[in-house]
Amino acid sequence: MSFTPELIAEMEVLALFNLDSNQEGIKIHANASPTLVAAAQRLYDKQVTDQPDGGYLTSLGHDAAESVQLLLNILKAPQPA
């Protein structure tokens, strides 16, 4: 499986969520890039979020966002000299 532009956009949306609070969602506004708007809709269709424009993470969504953010932290870590 390869990373398609659509999957990357979905991961970008998942990276926006604050995992420190279940009370904090996100809102992808209609004037956001069409790529992000479509990614938010796909995440909703996959039952990862509770609203087509972001909203809150479902239990599955929290797991997905946690994985995406962990991967980003690993890949952004400074490289040993």
Q: What tens digit of pLDDT does each residue of 9-34 get? A: 999 999 999 999 888 999 999 999 99
For residue 81, is pLDDT > 80? Answer: no
Residue 43 banded pLDDT, cuts 50, 70, 90: very high
Give the separation between CA 74 and CA 12, rounded to whole angstroms. Answer: 16
Q: Provide mean pLDDT across the span 30-49.
A: 97
Q: Is residue 48 assigned to a domain? A: yes
- Is pLDDT of 35 > 90? yes
Which residue type sits at 47? Q
Is 81 a member of any domain?
no
The answer as to whether 28 is a domain residue is yes
Query: What's residue 1's pLDDT?
Result: 81
How far apart are alpha carbons 54 and 14 in whole angstroms?
9
Provide the domain limits for residue 14.
Answer: 5-76
Domain count, the chain: 1
